[in-house]
Structure 1
Amino acid sequence: MIGNIFLFIFATGALILLNKFLAAWLPKRNPKEKYLSKAETLVFIIFLLIIAVTIESYDVNSSVSVFTIGIMVPRQGKTHRTLIQRLSYPIHEFVLPVYFGYMGFRFSITALTKRYYIGLVIIVILALAGKLIGVICACMYLKIPKKYWLFLPTILSVKGHVGVLLLDANYSKKKWWTTTIHDMMLASLVVTTLVSGVLASFLLKAREKDFAPQKTCLESHDTHEELRVLSCVYGVRHARGTISLISALSGCHGASKPFAALLMHLVPLPKKRKSSELLYHELGDDVHGDDEFGTNDGLEINDSIDSFAKDSKLLIQQVKLVTKMLNMHVEICNATEDLRISIVFLPFHKHQRIDGKTTNDGEIFRQMNRNVLRHAPCSVGIFVDRNITGFQQPHGFDSVQHVAALFFGGPDDREALALCRWLANNTLIHLTIIHFVSEDSQTESPVRNTTTQDNNDVFIEVAGRDQTEHEADRSFLEEFHNRFVTTGQVGFMEKRVSDGPHTLTILREIGEMYSLFVVGKSRGDSPMTVRMKDWEECPELGTVGDFLASSLDVNASVLVVQRQRHSHDNFLDD
């Protein structure tokens, strides 16, 4: 048996390597197809079936080998999407219910006499205690907060698929493995699952506030904590710019900062669809299941993400949202709450053509952005992507991207500057903070620095705002300066301006110096932006963001950030 076991381990390892080769090679045969063909999918199933039947023929349980092979299949690319899409429904809707029913018919509760109840209770207690100790050790190693230590083992015990599979092992030749013991183990597994579900629900309701997202703005979010980004795109044109932004925020390749990127493919559902009075087989090519919506764009988006994941080793989770445009902002806001998103990025409703001019995609897309800005339970960024002349994905030190963060003051500008902390940790990004200050201000500068600046660069404070906001701006800017500027990671300059036209002049001067501008949305009644609203076309971008997005003198991409302003509870009440 020892020799056979080593042989099975070797065969399992060989099949894992073969699957990795096939997962990378098969998609290249038909690069224009979204999924693998049925024959290509069958190859994986046949190999898995062969090794499982072979192992079982030696009276050895094959569950462990098959499970190991499954978790080692690559988790990105066309092969992964094909297996998930074609196996999820039949397994969850047919195979597992039939298998659980088969296990249930074999179970006999009358075989468990009273003398086995004590053993059943002991097994349940040992199972819960073992899972509790194991998860707590993992939490201590991963430095997970203590408030999750009791909740995680209970919620992880709700599903018992692996336990049921192991109980169905071939123990018929073992003298100690009787039908009664099998029934007792199965009953303990069911009781453990039920108890875990009740405990998880109780803990969730008792400590609902502790499990709710505590930090709804990036200003209070440290770079050592996980940044969860949700990027919304309508097509591959938006996806490429969004992937470049994700690449910049995630840091250099191999960075250990916790970062989770999710991409949501938005597919607007037509208001009026074709008549569905025909029978299913008479619909012909009108029915494609999940592939009916966004097929061509979906294929190109998948290819872009696969290429990025291969180069950067960063996995971007994909979600497709198919709904009517009137309800799309509701689905996005619900997703940000469920996925615990830190910031959501939306595409601008205009895009740059090949000749450099901009084209309006439609007011309905603009209205969707406004609704998300109004109701989102987290920070929101609208990304104006100039894919030809603007921000590009940094690939190496020869293509370092120059990014400027414009700081006028206020909560939105602090949120934009807080987002730049993740950009500052990327060595392929050269970040510069440009602090605009009023010419009329005579108070002390918020940044204590003695370095020499240009004639136009002085140290002066923004005036004319509430004292509380003024102190918050000063404190945050000074902290950012001490952390990043003094260490040489980020450049810093201050510009003295007198009014709105003077601000526009400076923005035109620096319009070609950077590939990306990061700026907050709200300007308020600042004297530095007075009279700028006379040219405002898109109020959802703010005064400065609207100028940068619409000006012909600016070739850079623009990211306009708005701090969270609406709680999820109020959103539900609306």
Structure 2
Amino acid sequence: MHGHEAPAGSEGLHGNDTIKVCVTFPPKINSAGIWENITSPSVILNYTLPLLELQMLLAFFITHLIHFFLNRLGLGIPILASQIIAGLMLGPMMLGNVDAFKLISFPPDLDLQVIDTTAVFGFAFFLFLMGVKMDVKRAFNTGKTAKMIGILSFLVPFIFGLIVNYGLMGEKNLSNEVKVERVAITLSASLTSVSVIACLLSELKILNSELGHLALSSAIVGDLSSIIIFLGISLPKRWTASLPVALMNIGAMILFIIVLVFVIRPFMFWIIRRTPQGKPVEDKYICMVILLAFGCALYAHFFDRSPIFGAFLFGLAVPDGPPLGSALVDKFECFVSGSMLLLFVTTASIRVDPMRLFADPAEVEFSAILGVVTFLAKFIGTFIPSFCSKMPLKDSLALALIMTSKGIVELSVSSNLKDTKIIQDATYCVLILGILLNSTLVPILVKFLYDPISRKYAGYQKRNIMHLKPDSELRILACVHKPENVVALIGFLNTTCPTEESPNVVYVLHLMELTGRDTPVFITHQKEMIAGSSYENFIMAFNQYEQNNCGLVTMNAFTAISPPDMMHEDICTMALDKQTSLILLPFHRKWSIDGSIETENNAIRKLNCSVLETCPCSIGILIDRDNACTRMLTKSPSRSSCYSVCMIFIGGKDDREALTLAKRMSKDTRLSLTVIHFVSGEEGESNYMLDWEEMLDDQVLKDVKDSQTGEYGEIMYMEEIVRDGPQAAEIVKSIVDGYDLVIVGRRYGVQSIQTQGLSEWGELPEFGVIGDLLASIDLQSTTSVLVVQQQHYVDVDVDKN
């Protein structure tokens, strides 16, 4: 045996205590099997590897047995709860009190040293993968609502926790250890972990929903807030203990971050460039990345930081998505989440001894009260700003519950606090049982409040052209099915008039039907690797569009290969992820030169209808007749008003969105815009909703009426008195041939005098009455059409758009 006495003052897993650790030398790892001692086969458990395998088998078997029975309840209880319960069963609460079981499975001389080390390795690997999947830019690109929710979700419970700590339950003559313990509990209870929330959203299948994106963005902001507060509390103590050492550690971590950003991250992009388009990353590069992750963990540990922190930071430096980030997640996530993470949760909860709750009733009472207060404070601190931001009541409640969720990170924090002897055993029991209760109830309540099927892409934030700030970039998602779509889309994009103050960011999504394989594929195209790929033609065309606009346009290309019934999920998910204001969809018909239908694809029509119903932003469906949209490509910049656009305005939010887009287009000197306002000429019945709509219509028309030449370039405004639908149809047919492009609002299901009587004859009802008329085969015209629908909002009783 080899003994080692830790020097006094060293801080390890046992704080400042002097401990003696005895290990067998040389270490006994592999056994010769059960035949080593036939009379006593259990001798193999004196070796660390067979013992570890037995402990892993027990944890795995009991966890999945519990989860099997809990699933029968149909409540959707997450696997984390089953893992904690399994740890409680293996611990002193149940099987840990059986001497024979404890002697065989968890012998006192070996304790949990090996399985603990394996579990921490698994947790570090888990956080590394979470860092790989995390988009840090989301924290800086979030709206005011997400930032406010993120900050308040940490500050409100932290402040109320301190009030409980020092105000309501403050006791005199408390020892420094108790004071430190209570502050640590307050910090732990106030945490908002993005890793935990991401796992919860994934398990609830709402990770790509609008609610999921808002929760993730808020969690990232909350995580950053907690890190800042923690550093503000811990740094002065480190400076007081040893200023030179503290400065050296801080400098080392700053250097570490600089190397991550300016050396390691560019190296990752080099790996991506070395990977052929559509091919997996080579295994040698995967191994290099994993070795670098372990190296970063060791570096952080050497400079007085948790190795887990180093692995997580390195994960953030790895570019998310395909090909590298996706390859790492695909290769290791199942193993880490299914096996290694299970060990970490089990070993953390196996040390819970409920009998300790009776040893210190005062601390148990304080921990329980603090847990309830911080939970309610975090819930209210999230609910109020979300509800005040006009989110529906149920969604606000669901978001508040999501932000209060506890999981693997809080379990790790509690375990670390116990290891360093900052908290006592009784407090540790309360924290773990609280995490168990929270992780069981929160998913059930969120499922009750939020329907992921009907509300997945429900909009809370304004992602449309009308509410776009004048100096903001216009983000457009252009969808491509076939080569003929490319020229039409680029022709239309040329009319959107990007400027230095408001440039265009175009995301091109090539949609392909999944054939010959089971798994959908999503490809991110790199501009340096286009040549020779099967997607070369359409990407090169958009690249040329980007170059022709001299820095006013940024283009990113993607390909989604999926079943036709799932394509709308790809479109809506990308629109939500990229925060686009407009989705451009091609029409399902291809026209021949004589104006007849050449081909018709009902699958594309079904896809367009699905996107219209579920999209998280505004939509434009482009009907290109006789390549009319491509005429803009050939217009000379020196000539003005040679591409004519007409916007037919009746009223409503879709028409207001269409007019806003048309006004943006009119800033191009090569384009002339005519706005034709269909007015009924009759006084309608007084109604609050109608009066409000008319006021909004007048507001968006005001600058067109007052200044027909000015900020928006050349605009002609006309009013046509229309008394019924047939008269509107006649006017549309008479004017349509005079323009290259006609823009209309969808106005689906909106009744008005100007369109009365036309809906009964509709061929394409999803386009609205005027859109259907312009898309009809009976209209012998070569004019292209854009049908615009403004973003839908959730549970808005009065549309104030």
Global fold match (TM > 0.5): yes
User: What amino acid does structure 1 have at the position aligned with 2:290?
Assistant: I
SS at structure 2 position matched to 1:389: helix
Q: C-alpha displacement at 1:332, in angstroms?
A: 8.9
Check if 1:55 corresponds to 2:321. Answer: no
Check if 1:559 corresponds to 2:786. Answer: yes
Q: 1:166 aligns with which of 404, 413, 417?
A: 413
Tell me how far apart the structure 2 counterparts of residues 34 and 312 of structure 1 sit (CA, whole Å). Answer: 32
Q: 1:365 aligns with which of 603, 609, 612?
A: 603
Tell me how far apart the structure 2 counterparts of residues 138 and 399 of structure 1 sit (CA, whole Å). Answer: 49
Change in Cα spacing, 1:36 to 1:332, as seen in structure 2 (3 Å) is closer
Contact 2:508 2:556 (C-alpha < 8 Å) held by counterparts: yes
1:482 maps to 702
Q: C-alpha displacement at 1:121, in angstroms?
A: 0.5
User: What amino acid does structure 1 have at the position aligned with 2:585?
Assistant: L
Change in Cα spacing, 1:229 to 1:95, as seen in structure 2 (3 Å) is farther
1:45 maps to 290
Check if 1:6 corresponds to 2:251. Answer: yes
Alignment deviations for residues 306-365 of structure 1 (CA, whole Å, 9 cap, x no partner): 998xx7898989895833x5x569979998999999986532124589x99998554333
Tell me whether 14-23 or 86-95 shows the greater mean CA deviation: 86-95
2:435 maps to 189
Matches within 5 A, 1:346-425: 346-350=585-589, 360=598, 362-365=600-603, 367-368=605-606, 372=610, 381-384=620-623, 386=627, 389=630, 404-407=645-648, 409=650, 415-421=654-660, 424=663
Tell me how far apart the structure 2 counterparts of residues 198 and 470 of structure 1 sit (CA, whole Å). Answer: 41
Tell me how far apart the structure 2 counterparts of residues 247 and 88 of structure 1 sit (CA, whole Å). Answer: 43
SS at structure 2 position matched to 1:404: strand
Tell me whether 151-160 or 293-302 shows the greater mean CA deviation: 293-302
Change in Cα spacing, 1:98 to 1:388, as seen in structure 2 (3 Å) is farther
1:131 maps to 378
Check if 1:544 corresponds to 2:544. Answer: no
Tell me how far apart the structure 1 counterparts of residues 287 and 415 of structure 2 sit (CA, whole Å). Answer: 26
Tell me how far apart the structure 2 counterparts of residues 391 and 330 of structure 1 sit (CA, whole Å). Answer: 29
2:221 maps to none
Percent identity over paired residues? 15
Contact 1:158 1:196 (C-alpha < 8 Å) held by counterparts: yes
2:675 maps to 435
Tell me how far apart the structure 2 counterparts of residues 91 and 401 of structure 1 sit (CA, whole Å). Answer: 61
Tell me how far apart the structure 1 counterparts of residues 628 and 746 of structure 2 sit (CA, whole Å). Answer: 22
Contact 1:406 1:519 (C-alpha < 8 Å) held by counterparts: yes
Change in Cα spacing, 1:182 to 1:248, as seen in structure 2 (3 Å) is farther
Tell me how far apart the structure 2 counterparts of residues 222 and 237 of structure 1 sit (CA, whole Å). Answer: 32
Matches within 5 A, 1:76-115: 78-86=323-331, 88-113=333-358, 115=361
Matches within 5 A, 1:66-81: 66-71=311-316, 73-74=318-319, 78-81=323-326
Change in Cα spacing, 1:20 to 1:254, as seen in structure 2 (3 Å) is farther
Tell me how far apart the structure 2 counterparts of residues 77 and 318 of structure 1 sit (CA, whole Å). Answer: 11
User: What amino acid does structure 2 have at the position aligned with 1:407?
Assistant: I
Give the unaligned 5+ runs of structure 1.
271-285, 439-460, 569-574
Contact 2:299 2:310 (C-alpha < 8 Å) held by counterparts: no
Change in Cα spacing, 1:120 to 1:260, as seen in structure 2 (3 Å) is farther
Tell me how far apart the structure 2 counterparts of residues 70 and 193 of structure 1 sit (CA, whole Å). Answer: 25
Tell me how far apart the structure 2 counterparts of residues 138 and 397 of structure 1 sit (CA, whole Å). Answer: 51
Change in Cα spacing, 1:358 to 1:423, as seen in structure 2 (3 Å) is same
Tell me how far apart the structure 2 counterparts of residues 427 and 437 of structure 1 sit (CA, whole Å). Answer: 17
User: What amino acid does structure 2 have at the position aligned with 1:482?
Assistant: K
Change in Cα spacing, 1:120 to 1:36, as seen in structure 2 (3 Å) is same
Tell me how far apart the structure 2 counterparts of residues 248 and 240 of structure 1 sit (CA, whole Å). Answer: 13
Q: C-alpha displacement at 1:132, in angstroms?
A: 4.7
Change in Cα spacing, 1:528 to 1:347, as seen in structure 2 (3 Å) is same
Contact 1:74 1:80 (C-alpha < 8 Å) held by counterparts: yes
SS at structure 2 position matched to 1:559: strand
Task: Return the index of the structure with the highest Cα Rg.
Answer: 2
Change in Cα spacing, 1:315 to 1:293, as seen in structure 2 (3 Å) is closer
Contact 1:380 1:563 (C-alpha < 8 Å) held by counterparts: yes
Q: C-alpha displacement at 1:155, in angstroms?
A: 1.1
SS at structure 1 position matched to 2:630: coil
Q: C-alpha displacement at 1:61, in angstroms?
A: 1.2
Change in Cα spacing, 1:91 to 1:466, as seen in structure 2 (3 Å) is farther
SS at structure 2 position matched to 1:112: helix
Q: C-alpha displacement at 1:482, in angstroms?
A: 1.5
Tell me how far apart the structure 1 counterparts of residues 427 and 642 of structure 2 sit (CA, whole Å). Answer: 65
Superposition RMSD on alpha carbons, in Å? 6.4
Change in Cα spacing, 1:128 to 1:398, as seen in structure 2 (3 Å) is farther
Tell me how far apart the structure 1 counterparts of residues 643 and 308 of structure 2 sit (CA, whole Å). Answer: 53
Matches within 5 A, 1:419-568: 419-421=658-660, 424=663, 434-436=674-676, 461=679, 477-483=697-703, 486=706, 488-490=710-712, 491-494=715-718, 504=733, 506-511=735-740, 517-520=742-745, 541-546=771-776, 551-552=781-782, 554=783, 558-561=785-788
Tell me how far apart the structure 2 counterparts of residues 364 and 255 of structure 1 sit (CA, whole Å). Answer: 36
Change in Cα spacing, 1:495 to 1:316, as seen in structure 2 (3 Å) is same
Change in Cα spacing, 1:370 to 1:76, as seen in structure 2 (3 Å) is closer
Contact 1:33 1:299 (C-alpha < 8 Å) held by counterparts: no
Normalised TM-score (structure 2): 0.47
Q: C-alpha displacement at 1:81, in angstroms?
A: 4.7
User: What amino acid does structure 1 have at the position aligned with 2:315?
Assistant: G
Matches within 5 A, 1:254-333: 267-268=512-513, 289-291=519-521, 322-323=562-563, 325=564, 327=565
Tell me how far apart the structure 2 counterparts of residues 399 and 110 of structure 1 sit (CA, whole Å). Answer: 85
Change in Cα spacing, 1:167 to 1:481, as seen in structure 2 (3 Å) is same
Matches within 5 A, 1:142-291: 151-169=398-416, 172=419, 174-177=420-423, 180-194=426-440, 196-197=442-443, 200=446, 222-223=467-468, 233-234=480-481, 238=485, 267-268=512-513, 289-291=519-521
User: What amino acid does structure 2 have at the position aligned with 1:435?
Assistant: V
Normalised TM-score (structure 1): 0.61
SS at structure 2 position matched to 1:33: coil
Change in Cα spacing, 1:406 to 1:337, as seen in structure 2 (3 Å) is closer
Tell me how far apart the structure 2 counterparts of residues 550 and 106 of structure 1 sit (CA, whole Å). Answer: 79
Q: C-alpha displacement at 1:383, in angstroms?
A: 2.1
Check if 1:27 corresponds to 2:272. Answer: yes
Q: C-alpha displacement at 1:51, in angstroms?
A: 0.9
User: What amino acid does structure 2 have at the position aligned with 1:368?
Assistant: K
Contact 1:8 1:55 (C-alpha < 8 Å) held by counterparts: yes
Contact 1:262 1:316 (C-alpha < 8 Å) held by counterparts: yes
User: What amino acid does structure 1 have at the position aligned with 2:587?
Assistant: F
Tell me whether 381-390 or 41-50 shows the greater mean CA deviation: 381-390
- The count of residues paired between Structure 1 and Structure 2 equals 505
Change in Cα spacing, 1:203 to 1:252, as seen in structure 2 (3 Å) is farther
1:457 maps to none
Contact 1:253 1:312 (C-alpha < 8 Å) held by counterparts: yes
Contact 1:76 1:306 (C-alpha < 8 Å) held by counterparts: no
Change in Cα spacing, 1:101 to 1:484, as seen in structure 2 (3 Å) is farther
Change in Cα spacing, 1:218 to 1:165, as seen in structure 2 (3 Å) is same
SS at structure 1 position matched to 2:350: helix
Change in Cα spacing, 1:547 to 1:54, as seen in structure 2 (3 Å) is same
Tell me how far apart the structure 2 counterparts of residues 239 and 95 of structure 1 sit (CA, whole Å). Answer: 47
Change in Cα spacing, 1:228 to 1:467, as seen in structure 2 (3 Å) is farther
Alignment deviations for residues 452-500 of structure 1 (CA, whole Å, 9 cap, x no partner): xxxxxxxxx4569987999898655432221466464432332779986
